[in-house]
Amino acid sequence: MKIYTRSGDSGATSLVGGMRTGKDDLRVEAYGTVDELGAFVALLRDEMRREGAAVLAEIAEYADDLGSVLGALMSVQASLATPDGGIFDPEKVRRLERRIDALCSALPPVKGFTIPGGHPLISLAHVCRTVCRRAERCVVRASREFAVDSNVLAYLNRLSDYFYALARQLSQVLGIEEECWQP
């Protein structure tokens, strides 16, 4: 089977169920941005696995989290690509909230705006956070014109918080002092 169909050469694509729409449709932009986020999450997970084997087994727990996130992001994309808005499991939002709570319970209070960096894993977690926020903005725009499951928006909103907490936790695990912005 060939991976190209030529059916998109005119700037159109199909949603789930076969409905045709423009590649500039807000839903396509939204699920495309979520797809981009998934690629960055996969890169972060790969780097964690590589780093974890060399540094700390504790990092493997976070790599497992990211495997769940990747599956959830595929569900987000499927929901967004469904003309009626699809359905997104609210349990995925609750699971993410539990993971955020677990991460934050082991962290000192936030002292100010965190400047990304200090280690490639920390920086990559912040890249995931910012791409996630952009994906959320795309989904909000799409939701003004099309049906979007409210749990999709809740998930993306929590996911950016998860990446922030993860970056802070990685700083702790790796022994990197967080740098805060000093206005």
Looking at residue 120, what is its pLDDT? 94
Say what the pTM is: 0.91
Question: By the 8 A CB rule, do 22 and 12 touch?
Answer: yes
Give the residue ranges of DSSP H helices in the chain. Answer: 26-54, 58-80, 90-105, 120-143, 150-174
**Of the listed ranges 5-9, 78-82, 98-102, the one predicted with least confidence:** 5-9
The pairing of strands 114-115 and 20-22 is: unpaired
Give the pLDDT score at 157.
98
Q: Assess whether pLDDT exceeds 70 at residue 16.
A: yes
State the pLDDT at residue 147. Answer: 92
Task: Note the pLDDT of residue 54.
Answer: 55
pLDDT for 53 beyond 80: no
Dist. CA 60–CA 133, nearest whole Å: 25
Q: For 107, phi and psi rounded to 5 degrees?
A: -110, 150
133-154 average pLDDT score: 96
b/e code 149-183 from CB counts within 10 Å (16+ = b): bebbbbbbbbbbbbbbbbbbbbbebbeeebeeeee
When computed from its CA atoms, the radius of gyration of the chain, rounded to whole angstroms, is: 18
Report strand pairing: 114-115 vs 179-180.
antiparallel
- Nearest Cα neighbor of 159 from 65, 80, 26 is 65
pLDDT score of 86: 85
Per the CB < 8 A criterion, the answer to whether 51 and 122 are in contact is no
Q: What's the pLDDT tens digit per position in 70-81?
A: 999 999 999 999
Residues above pLDDT 70, as percent of the chain: 89
Q: Which residue has the higher pLDDT, 15 or 38?
A: 38
For 48-69, give the DSSP string.
Answer: HHHHHHHS-THHHHHHHHHHHH
